[in-house]
Amino acid sequence: MKRTAYLLTLLLIVTGCTKEPVAPLNIIPMPQSCQLQNKIFELSENPQFTVSADENTCKSIAEYICSLFPTANLAAEGELTLQILEQVENITSPEGYTIKTDGNGIKICSTSESGLFYALQTILQCIDNEGGVPYGTIIDEPRFAYRGMMLDVSRHFFDKDFVIKQIDAISRYKMNRLHLHLTDAAGWRIEIKKYPRLTQFAAWRHAETWKEWWNSGRKYVDEGSAEAYGGYYTQDDIREIVAYAAKRHVTIVPEIEMPAHSEEVLTAYPELSCTHEPYKQADFCIGNEKTFEFLENVLSEIIELFPSEYIHIGGDEAEKKSWPTCPLCQKRMREEGLKDVDELQSYLIHRIERFVNSKGRQIIGWDEILDGGLAPNATIMSWRGTEGGLTAVAAGHKAIMSPGTFCYLDQYQDAPHTLPEAIGGYLPLKKVYSYNPVPEEMSSENAKLIYGVQGNLWAEYIPTPEHMEMMAYPRILAIAEVGWSQPEVKCYDNFRNRAITAVEYLQKKGYNPFDLANETGNRPEADEQLQHLAIGKKVTYNENAPYHESYAASKETTLVDGIRGGWNNNDGIWQGFVKGGIDVVIDLDKEETITFIGADFMQICNPWIFMPCDVIISVSNDNKEYTQLTHIKHEVIKDDALTFKNFGWQGETKARYIRYEAKSSCEGGWLFTDEIVVK
C-alpha cells in the first residue's frame, strides 16, 4: 500500500526543556534495552506530531492520539515522530519498536501499527511517572506473541462497560489477548440467534452469587423472573467490544465450553444430553448428531462475531460418566473404532477442529484435549501444571502456558484473613512474577512453540466488578511482564516498586486494585527456619498411606527439613495425603529425651482440604513395640475459612522412634501438613 505522511498537532508543544529524572525508568513491562541519559524531554501543551505510514495506520494512530489529547492541529514537522519502516534495526517482532529521544524530540520506529501503539504506551507511562521521556534509546519487543488475560463472565456476569474498561488497562501494559469464558454451568453469556433459549433461560439463575446457586439446587429461571440473576452480551455488544479492543491491539478470544461444563445448555436443550433429561447432565452426548449440529451452528455465529484466529473450545474436566452406558455414544465408539471414552472425547475435538479450520480459524483447548489423541492443528492452553503444554510442544504443537500454581488469579494474593473470600490457595505477586514459561532445559527449537502466557480470573468467588479488579491488579501486570520482558531484565524488587506506582495510577483512573503497598505477606511461620530433634532424620511412610505425588513437596525430607508452609497448600512445602491419611515413622538415630511432638494442619473446605479427625502419636525404642502418648479426637467443622491448627503432645518421655498417624474426616478428603516438630 502507498505510504503517506499524516501530520497532526497534539495538545502538547514540546518546550525542549530538560530536567533530571527523579527515578530509573518506571514503566511496565520493562523494555528489553534502555540506554538513557540523565535528562528528560518534557511534553507540555500543544505538541506537534507526525505519522509516516500507510493511510489506514496513519488514521488509526492519529485518532488514538487525539482520543488522549483532544486539541490536535496539523503540522509539517513534529516533536513526536512515528514512522513505519520495512525493517527496524534490532527488531524482529511486528510488535517491537524503538524510541530515540534527544533535544529535538522523540522518534518512534516500528514495522507495524501495533509497534507504534506499544511505543506510545511506553511514552504515556514515562509522562505519567517521570514527567517526560528520558533522552537516549529504547529498543523493545515482546518475548511472546500471546500475552493474555481471561475473564470468567459465566460464574458472575460482568457487563460490556466493565470489559471495555479492562481492555484499556491491559493494553496500557502491552497485553494483546482478552479471553472471555462465555459459557459454563452458571450461565450462558452470549446471544445466539439460532438458539434463543440460551439467553432467555440458560443465562439466568435463581441466586445472585455462584456459591449460593451451587449449594441450593443449581436451578435456572426465565429472563424477567423476579428471582433472575444473570445477563448476556447481545451480538451488538460483542461487536462493540471487539471493535474497541481492536483499536487497542487486543484480540478477543471467545470460549465455548465442550463437551463438559455444559449443564446450562443441556437443561435448556436436554435432547443434546445422553439421558435427554434437564438438570441431569454436564457433558454433551457425542453419539448424537444433533450435538454437532448445535455446536457447529453456535460456532458459526461465534466465528462471524469474533475475528480472532483462535476459537477456544474448552475441553476440560469432562466427567464422561454417561458415555459408557449411552446407546448413541457406544454406537459411535463401535463405528469409529474408539477404544475408550477418552478417544470418544478426542473424536469430538477432532471433528470440531475440522469444522473450525474449514472457517479459516484454529482451536485452542485446555490441556485435557490431549486425552485420547490431540487434534492435528490444535493449540494447548496448559493449566494442570506445565506438563500438558510441554507434551504438546514435544509433539510439535503450540502451547500457551497458564499453570494454576502461577497464573490462577482467583487465589488469595495476601493473608486470607485480610481479604474477601477466595477459592483458596495463596498466590502473591512475587510468585506470579517468578514464573518462566520456558523451562531451562527446553531446546531453542521447542521454545519457539511456547506461544505465550495467560493469567486466568475464574469468578466463582468474585461476585462484583470491584472484587474482580482487586484480584486482577496488580497481579495481571506481573503476567504482562512475564509475557513481554526477557528474564535477564526482570527484577522483582524493582518490579514491586513499579507495580506500586501502577496501582496508584489505576486508583486514579477509577479501578480498584489490591493495595500492594500495605501487603501483609506470607504466613509468619513460613519465614522461620526451625531447629528440632528430627531435622534431617529418616522418615518412613506406611505403604498404605503414602504422600500424593501431586503434592510431594520435598518427598521423604519434607516433614523434617525445618521449613514451614505458607498460606497455600500448593507452595511446594505442604505435603498432601488422601488415601489412607498420614502414617509415618521418624528414626531419631538414638534414644532422645522428648518433651513435644506436633504437626500443623491446614483446612480450607472448598478444595476438600480438612483437619484430621483422629491423631495418634506413639513412640518406641525398637520400632516394634510402640507406646501411645496421645489419641486426639477432633470434630471437623466445615466452614469457609482458611485455618491452621497444631495437633501434638507435650510431656516427657524417652524414645528413638516416633510414629505419627492422622486420619481424614471424610472419604476423599485431603490432609496437608508441613513439618513434624520434635523437641
Q: Is 261 a catalytic residue?
A: yes
* CATH number of the domain residue 439 falls in: 3.20.20.80
In a domain, 509, yes or no: no
Return the ∠ at Cα 248 (arms to 242 and 251), rounded to 5°.
45
| Residue 344 placed within a domain | yes
pLDDT at 23: 45
Q: Are residues 111 and 164 in the same domain?
A: no
The answer as to whether 454 is a domain residue is yes
Whether 548 is catalytic: no
Residue 73: its pLDDT value, please? 63
Sheet holding 48-54, edge to edge: 3-9, 48-54, 80-84, 105-110, 97-102, 133-140, 33-41
Which residue among 317, 343, 421, 587 is the active-site one?
A: 317
HEC profile for 563-622?
Answer: CCCCCCCCCCCCEEECCCCEEEEEEEEEEEEEEEEEEEEEEECCCCECCEEEEEEEEECC
What CATH number is attached to the domain comprising 126?
3.30.379.10
Query: Does the annotation mark 184 as catalytic?
Result: yes
Q: Is the dihedral of CA 397, 399, 405, 408 positive or negative?
A: negative
Which of the pair, 513 or 75, is modelled with greater confidence? 513
> Are 123 and 182 found together in one domain?
no
- Half-sphere exposure in the Cβ direction for 127 (13 Å, CA): 14
Q: What secondary structure letter does DSSP report for 521?
A: -
Is the CA virtual torsion 261, 175, 491, 445 positive or negative?
A: positive
Cell numbers linked to 531: 531447629
Q: Is the pLDDT of residue 220 over 80?
A: yes
Q: Please identify which of the residues 130, 152, 184, 257 carries the catalytic annotation.
A: 184
| Residue 151 and residue 133 share a domain | no
- Report pLDDT digits (tens) over 399-426: 999 999 999 999 999 999 999 999 988 9
pLDDT one-digit tens code per residue, 317-329: 999 999 999 999 9
- Its domain, for residue 88, covers 3-140
- Asked if residue 80 belongs to a domain, the reply is yes
Q: Which of 84, 118, 140 is the last residue of a domain?
A: 140
Question: Residue 131 falls within a domain, yes or no?
Answer: yes
For residues 281 and 185, what is the distance between their CA atoms, to the nearest angstrom?
Answer: 10
Which grid coordinates are listed for 420? 474477601
Please indicate, yes or no, whether residues 475 and 595 belong to a single structural domain of this protein: no
- Give the residue from 475, 492, 509 where a domain finishes: 492
* Helices 113-130, 160-172: crossing angle, 10 deg rounding: 80
On whether both 236 and 372 belong to a single domain, the answer is: yes
Q: Which residues pair with 643 in a beta bridge?
A: 603
CATH number of the domain that residue 625 is part of: 2.60.120.260
Question: Residue 34 and residue 136: Cα distance in Å, rounded?
Answer: 8
**Same structural domain for residues 529 and 664?**
yes
pLDDT at 49: 85
236 falls in which pLDDT band (50, 70, 90)? Answer: very high
Which of 492, 511, 533 corresponds to the end of one domain? 492
C-alpha distances in Å from residue 2, one per residue of 54, 57, 84, 160: 6, 11, 12, 37
In angstroms and rounded to an integer, the radius of gyration of the C-alpha atoms of the chain is 28
Dump pLDDT digits (tens) for 533-561: 999 999 999 999 999 999 999 999 999 99
Q: CA torsion, points 280, 283, 287, 292, in degrees to nearest 10?
A: 120
Whether residues 458 and 547 fall in one domain: no
Element (H, E) at 65: helix 55-68
Are 150 and 129 found together in one domain? Answer: no
As beta bridge partners, residue 36 has 136
The total domain count for the chain is: 3
- Regarding whether 206 and 113 lie in a shared domain, the answer is no
Q: Give the model's pLDDT for residue 48.
A: 83
Q: Assess whether pLDDT exceeds 90 at residue 277.
A: yes
**607 domain residue, yes or no:** yes
Q: Is residue 429 part of a domain?
A: yes
Q: What is the DSSP string of 74-127?
A: --SS-SEEEEE-S--TT--STT-EEEEEETTEEEEEESSHHHHHHHHHHHHHHH
The maximal CA–CA distance of the chain, rounded, in angstroms, is 95
pTM of the model: 0.91
Q: What's the mean per-residue pLDDT of the chain?
A: 93
Note whether 576 and 550 are within 8 A (CB). yes
Q: How, if at all, do strands 229-230 and 146-152 pair? A: unpaired
Q: Are residues 437 and 307 in the same domain?
A: yes
Predicted local confidence at residue 202, as pLDDT: 98
| Three cell numbers written together for 511 | 479501578
Q: What is the pLDDT of residue 14?
A: 36
Q: 116-156, pLDDT tens digit by residue?
A: 999 999 999 999 998 899 999 999 999 999 999 999 999 99
How far is Cα 438 from Cα 449, in angstroms, rounded to an integer? 10
Closest CA relative to residue 503, chosen from 216, 169, 252, 270: 169
Residue 58 in any domain: the answer is: yes
Q: Of the listed 156, 179, 181, 261, which one is catalytic?
A: 261
Q: Are residues 341 and 401 in the same domain?
A: yes
Residue 11 has pLDDT above 90, yes or no: no
Q: Which residues pair with 609 in a beta bridge?
A: 604, 670
Residues 220 and 348 in one domain: yes
